[in-house]
Amino acid sequence: MSARETILKTITANKPSLTELPAIDLVEVIQYNDLLQQYKTVLQSIGGGTVELQDINSLKEELQTKKANGDFVLNRIASLGDVEESIAHLTAPDLAAVDTAYVEGTIAVAENGAIWLYESQMGNRLLPFICQHLVIVIEKKNIVATMHHAYQQIESAKDGFGVFLAGPSKTADIEQSLVIGAHGARSLIVYII
Amino acid sequence: MSKSSLSHAEAAEQFIKDEPRTDWHDETLWFVRQKRDKAAHGLPEWEQLREWASQIKNHTLSNLDNYLLEFEANANANGVTIHWAPDAADHNRIIFDLIQKNNIQKIVKSKSMLTEECGLNEFLHAKGVETIDTDLGERIVQLRYEAPSHIVLPAIHLKKQDVSDTFHEHLNTEKGNNDPQYLTEAARQHLREKFIESELAITGVNFAVAETGGFVVCTNEGNADMGAHAAKIHIACMGFEKMIPKAEHLSVFLRLLARSATGQPITTYSSHFNKPREGQEMHIVIVDNGRSRQLGRADFRNSLKCIRCAACFNTCPVYRRSGGYSYHTAVAGPIGSILNPNIDMRANADLPFASTLCGSCSNVCPVKIDIHDQLWKWRQVLVEEGYVDASKKVGLKGMAFVLARPGLYRFAGKAGRAVMRLFPWLLNNKLNPWYKQREMPAPPKQSFRDWYIKNKQQ
């Protein structure tokens, strides 16, 4: 018998009798009066920054200024101007010097500050992790209360990769002292339109 | 790595010799436990979430063979290769074969307690293959030739000056600079190089989703992603109990995991791996290593629901004051004490006794594992199977004999109180293990029974 068959047969022989899956009723789940305020408060508490924008022009200008200063920026958001389309093939050495990446988010979660990013939005899986600074743009109407609501609205296996990203990279592995900027982005600013 | 051959009590005795450090360890983990409470109390549905998580895991275990088949079929369709490892040796061999076949030199690994359980680093080292651990805490202990002492906080037994000394020696940081910010930045630069040049990345798996064939890996640092997205081969290692039925169930577990572990509302990155990127190879090693045997033990199968949050470590009065190494296994703490006797009953027979059975572990467990009940049940199994010291057995038998005879019990109580009053040195000496590190209490003048009879009559 192969290893696979042995393991599966033992599990079949040893598993308990079938029990039911629970029904997850969202009536039981926390609600927030002001999703935007809740989202901002939580994201700030985990080290992220938030900026509310009436329109995207000021962010467009910021991006242009960075480019003009010679910063290595990668833009993945069409409404901010030219999009770097074919970056999927770029490797770690290519992306290691990226200063700021601009990525559009799908859904933001008020209870924990997380934002869902599809691989198609990143353009390259490594980008939101290897960049020094990350900027994400979300629409206010796409803020939901909890993870239950978020999974109803995304298709987590649609792309080859996807991530719930909440705040900048961090660690507390040295004497429980919180340090922002472990291996991933050193900062996260979320622009809410 | 420094896996101790001492028993829990012997190793704990070493740990508590440094009293200020023991106090720091105790207080720091209690602080993490308090952060967990704050996060849990922030959600009115917390108890309902635990119940859902528990039921989802119970259901999954009751249909596990079918979910594993569904997962395998979907992962294969996604272009992922599945490997099955009956034990630790097979797990290590499968990974070594992939390394050899692809002529790999540079390997990075993010946190995976399964690879610790299987002794992967030591195995590869003996074959001449070096693996770089990339979680900051794990890198610190790796540079010190130590093992993680906690599954979520691997270097919690160390102080910043220890880290500073280690980094000065290996990463050329300034001697005596103990600033965590400075030390973390040094590790960031050091490990960025490793990520960028790595050819193969090994990660763990937090949840594997049968419905999609995908899996989720959670980190705060981003090290699993930096490794997996940079390397041309990604190997993810999982015990088969990581399975859950559907993607929507991730919502329940991701809400519980980080809140239970550190009090955060969610980890910074909850990465959903479905398919290899273009030109990349993705492998999943599904490991048994005793889990199917545990599934067959009705009293203990519940332990397979564990999501490795370590809430039971942080709350445990024994773990906090004895340290991770006293458990001499990859997964320490209360949950380790009910998992490890299954893997090796003789070597881990001491662990179920390293508990006060206070039940705090069961109360904080996000998937409602009856940890303290299982600790108690393991004690009985271990005594029955003959894995307990003769002296402990005689003591327990003697106690059982006395407790079963109320007259004798009352006499022994009276005699004991008299002895403690008249001849305190009989107990307050080195031969009595209960006298170590503590004073014996002043003996009461009367038993509760005597007091009750007297006061009832008044």
Tokens, residue B352: 């179920």
Q: Give the pLDDT of residue B2.
A: 44
Residue partners of B253: CB distance under 8 A and separation at least 6: B53, B56, B206, B207, B244, B307
Write out the DSSP string of B276-331: PPTT-EEEEEEE-TTHHHHHT-TTTGGGGG-----HHHHH-HHHHHH-GGGG-SSS
How far CA B127 is from CA of B3, B27, B38, B121, B449, in Å, comes to: 20, 41, 47, 10, 66
Q: What is the pTM of this model?
A: 0.94
Distance from CA of A142 to the nearest CA of B (A): 17
Q: pLDDT tens for residues B2-14?
A: 455 799 999 999 9
Distance from CA of A16 to the nearest CA of B (A): 5
Residue range A17-42: mean pLDDT, rounded: 97
Name the residue among A159, A180, A179, A168 with its Cα closest to residue A101: A168
Q: Give the pLDDT of residue B426.
A: 72
Handedness of CA B335, B336, B337, B340 (dihedral sign): positive
Q: State how far the Cα of B13 lies from the Cα of B22, in Å rounded to an integer.
A: 11
For chain A, the first-to-last Cα distance in angstroms comes to: 59
Residue range B307-323: mean pLDDT, rounded: 98
CB atoms within 10 A of CB B429: 9
Closest residue of B to A29, CA-based? Answer: B45
Whether the Cβ atoms of residue B228 and residue B234 lie closer than 8 Å to each other: yes
Instruction: Tell me whether B354 touches chain A (CB under 8 Å).
Output: no
Q: State how far the Cα of B274 lies from the Cα of B344, in Å rounded to an integer.
A: 35
Chain A 122-161, CB below 8 Å of chain B: which residues?
124-126, 129-130, 146-148, 150-152, 156-157, 159-161
pLDDT over 70 (residue B458)? no
For Cα atoms B272, A25, B269, give the angle at the middle one, nearest 5 degrees. Answer: 20
Residue range A72-95: mean pLDDT, rounded: 94
Q: Which residues of A touch B276 (CB under 8 A)?
A: 160
Strand (E) or helix (H) holding B236? strand B233-239
CB–CB contact A160 B277 (8 Å): yes
Q: State how far the Cα of A149 lies from the Cα of A159, in Å rounded to an integer.
A: 19
Q: Which amino acid is at A38?
A: Q
Q: What is the ipTM of this complex?
A: 0.98
Closest CB from A6, A42, A173 relative to B155: A173
For Cα atoms B437, B443, B446, give the angle at the middle one, nearest 5 degrees. Answer: 155
CB–CB contact B268 A167 (8 Å): yes
Q: Give the pLDDT of residue B374.
A: 98
B161-165, B378-382, B419-423: the lowest-pLDDT one: B419-423
CB–CB contact A173 B248 (8 Å): no
Q: Give the pLDDT of residue B456.
A: 85
Name the residue among B335, B41, A104 with its Cα closest to residue B49: B41
Instruction: Tell me whether B37 touches chain A (CB under 8 Å).
Output: no
Tokens, residue A92: 């770690």
pLDDT-derived band of residue B421, with 50, 70 and 90 as boundaries? Answer: confident
Residue range B18-34: mean pLDDT, rounded: 97
pLDDT over 90 (residue B414)? no
Q: State how far the Cα of B80 lies from the Cα of B282, in Å rounded to an integer.
A: 5
Residue range B411-417: mean pLDDT, rounded: 84
CB atoms within 10 A of CB B201: 27
Beta bridge partners of B236: B203, B284
Distance from CA of A133 to the nearest CA of B (A): 13
Name the residue among B50, B88, B84 with its Cα closest to residue B65: B84
Beta bridge partners of A50: A190
Name the residue among B180, B202, B172, B185 with its Cα closest to residue B104: B202
Beta bridge partners of A138: A192
Q: Which amino acid is at A119?
A: E
Name the residue among A160, A175, A92 with its Cα closest to residue B32: A175
Q: State how far the Cα of B326 lies from the Cα of B351, in Å rounded to an integer.
A: 9
Q: Give the pLDDT of residue B64.
A: 98
Q: State how far the Cα of B73 lies from the Cα of B82, in Å rounded to an integer.
A: 9
Closest CB from A30, A89, A92 relative to B43: A30
Q: State how far the Cα of B288 lies from the Cα of B152, in Å rounded to an integer.
A: 22
CB atoms within 10 A of CB B386: 11
Q: Which residues of A touch B51 (CB under 8 A)?
A: 22
Residue at token pair 């979300």? A138
Instruction: Tell me whether B196 touches chain A (CB under 8 Å).
Output: yes
CB–CB contact A148 B184 (8 Å): no
Closest CB from B78, B86, B222 relative to A129: B222
Residue B450 or residue B208, greater confidence:
B208
Query: What's A111's DSSP letter?
Result: T
Whether the Cβ atoms of residue B166 and residue B146 lie closer than 8 Å to each other: no
Tokens, residue B315: 């709350």
Name the residue among B264, B271, B371, B268 with its Cα closest to residue B312: B371
Instruction: Tell me whether B20 touches chain A (CB under 8 Å).
Output: no
Q: What CATH code is assigned to A24-192?
A: 3.40.50.10420
Q: Give the pLDDT of residue B409.
A: 87
Q: Which amino acid is at B205?
A: V
CB–CB contact B56 A21 (8 Å): yes
Q: State how far the Cα of B139 lies from the Cα of B147, in Å rounded to an integer.
A: 10
Instruction: Tell me whether A185 touches chain B (CB under 8 Å).
Output: yes
Closest CB from A151, A166, A173 relative to B268: A166
Handedness of CA A6, A7, A13, A14 (dihedral sign): positive
3-state SS assignment for residue A191 = strand
Q: State how far the Cα of B378 lies from the Cα of B342, in Å rounded to an integer.
A: 9
Q: Name the average pLDDT for chain B.
A: 94
Residue range A78-102: mean pLDDT, rounded: 94
pLDDT-derived band of residue A85, with 50, 70 and 90 as boundaries? Answer: confident
Q: Give the pLDDT of residue B399.
A: 82
Query: What count of Cα atoms within 13 Å lies in the side-chain half-sphere of residue B46?
Result: 18
Residue A30 or residue B3, greater confidence:
A30
Q: Give the pLDDT of residue B443.
A: 82
Instruction: Tell me whether B14 touches chain A (CB under 8 Å).
Output: no
Closest CB from B58, B209, B292 relative to A14: B292
Chain B 384-443, CB below 8 Å of chain A: which residues?
none
Q: Which amino acid is at B110?
A: S
Among B65, B109, B268, pick the best mutation site for testing chain A contact (most A Cβ within 10 A): B268
- Chain A with chain B: Cβ pairs closer than 8 A: 259
Q: State how far the Cα of A24 lies from the Cα of A29, in Å rounded to an integer.
A: 9
Whether the Cβ atoms of residue B316 and residue B361 lie closer than 8 Å to each other: yes
Residue range B390-403: mean pLDDT, rounded: 79
Closest CB from B45, B223, B248 relative to A28: B45
Residue range A119-147: mean pLDDT, rounded: 98
Q: What percent of chain B has pLDDT over 90?
A: 84
CB–CB contact A146 B251 (8 Å): yes
Q: What percent of chain A has pLDDT over 90?
A: 97
Q: Give the pLDDT of residue B416.
A: 81
Closest CB from B63, B153, B293 relative to A18: B63
Tokens, residue B22: 């023991």
CB–CB contact A174 B184 (8 Å): yes
Using CA atoms in the order B378, B384, B387, B389, what is the torsion angle rounded to 10 degrees? Answer: 110
Write out the DSSP string of A90-141: --HHHHTT--EEEEE-SEEETTT--EEEEHHHHSSTTHHHHSSEEEEEE-GG
Beta bridge partners of A57: none
CB–CB contact A148 B222 (8 Å): no
Buried b / exposed e over A23-59, threshold 16 CB at 10 Å, is: ebeeeebbebeebeebbbebbeebbbebeeeeebeeb
Instruction: Tell me whether B81 touches chain A (CB under 8 Å).
Output: no
Closest residue of A to B178, CA-based? Answer: A174
Instruction: Tell me whether B62 touches chain A (CB under 8 Å).
Output: yes
Residue range A168-174: mean pLDDT, rounded: 97
Give the β-pairing of B131-133 and B214-219: unpaired
